[in-house]
């Protein structure tokens, strides 16, 4: 769970069996499950339900006041809200999702957290349907994936997901990333994130992206162990493994920057 900007874990929370994360500054962990409606401060926008591993996205994206930011696959809006919290109100965020129902969740979460963004229902690959041509300084692609990193919380994934699904997902991820690259300003940062532990969806997608988009280059990011306890460096990016030392779900992150080459 994340304590939102301007709030902190209260003595009441911690005495109720909630503990602060030793490595994620805004994260607290519940000792026992609690209904969302009963979380102290949830309705007031003081806390959000978000895995500590997911809380790495906003710091890695590093959006700053005055920047224009795209959250390309934004629903349900947890990372969108965190980006707004980290960067402040002087950042312009466009939050896109292909599904109208899930886009409504973005608005609902932002309203609860008293944050604002321009929420758009669109296929982010079809940039002409929503993009006004003004480039973004920061783009987050939290891509659709196999969700293999969250099986511990959703064991049905093992029954529903098939090996033949992965190539199609990887193709979709690459297409979204290439569309995002076209909207990124030179010098801008693109953060790729999945909740997958499969190389085919992670570093292999990044390798294909770099081959197809020579104007992109890997950006410096913290080494795996500096990012989170037990995180593992990959050829590109870093992998958090589910249930490892950090106690998070499985996540993959890779940071890229757009150079002037190839533009």
* CA-wise closest residue to 97 among 115, 110, 86: 110
Residue 130: partners with Cβ closer than 8 Å, 6 or more residues away: 94, 96, 120, 122, 124
Instruction: Identify the residue whose tokens are 């890695």.
Output: 60
Is residue 86 within 8 Å of 26, Cβ to Cβ?
no
**Residues 6 or more apart whose Cβ sits within 8 Å of residue 132:** none
The count of C-alpha atoms lying within 13 angstroms of the C-alpha of 59, restricted to the half-sphere facing its C-beta, is 13
DSSP E strands in 62-104: the ranges are 68-71, 92-97
255 is catalytic: no
User: Per the residue annotation, which of 73, 145, 195, 255 is the catalytic one?
Assistant: 195
Question: Would you say 205 and 192 are in contact if contact means Cβ atoms under 8 Å apart?
Answer: yes
Question: According to the 3-state scheme, what is the secondary structure of 190-235?
Answer: EEEEECCCCHHHCHHHHHHHHHHCCCEEECCCCCHHHHCCCCEECC
- Residues designated catalytic: 195
């Amino acid at each position: 769970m994340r304590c939102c900007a301007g709030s902190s874990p209260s003595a009441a929370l911690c005495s109720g069996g909630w503990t602060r994360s030793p490595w994620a500054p805004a994260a607290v962990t519940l000792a026992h499950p609690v209904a969302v409606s009963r979380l102290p401060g949830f309705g007031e926008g003081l806390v959000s339900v978000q895995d500590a591993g997911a809380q790495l996205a906003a710091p890695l994206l590093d959006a700053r006041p005055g920047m224009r930011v795209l959250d390309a696959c934004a629903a349900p809006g947890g990372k969108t809200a965190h980006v707004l919290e980290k960067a402040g109100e002087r950042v312009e965020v466009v939050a896109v999702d292909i599904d109208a129902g899930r886009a409504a969740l973005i608005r609902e979460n932002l309203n609860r957290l008293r944050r604002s963004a321009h929420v758009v229902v669109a296929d982010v690959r079809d940039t002409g349907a929503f993009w006004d041509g003004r480039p973004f300084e920061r783009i987050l692609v939290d891509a659709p994936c196999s969700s293999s990193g969250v099986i511990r919380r959703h064991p049905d994934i093992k029954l529903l997901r098939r090996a033949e699904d992965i190539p199609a997902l990887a193709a979709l991820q690459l297409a979204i990333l290439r569309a995002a690259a076209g909207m990124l300003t030179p010098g801008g940062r693109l953060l790729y994130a999945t909740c997958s532990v499969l190389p085919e969806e992670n570093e292999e997608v990044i390798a294909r992206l770099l081959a197809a988009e020579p104007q992109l280059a890997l950006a410096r990011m913290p080494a795996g162990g500096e990012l989170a306890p037990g995180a593992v460096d990959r050829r590109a990016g870093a992998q958090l493994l589910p249930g490892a030392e950090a106690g998070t779900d499985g996540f993959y992150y890779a940071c890229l920057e757009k150079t002037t080459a190839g533009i």
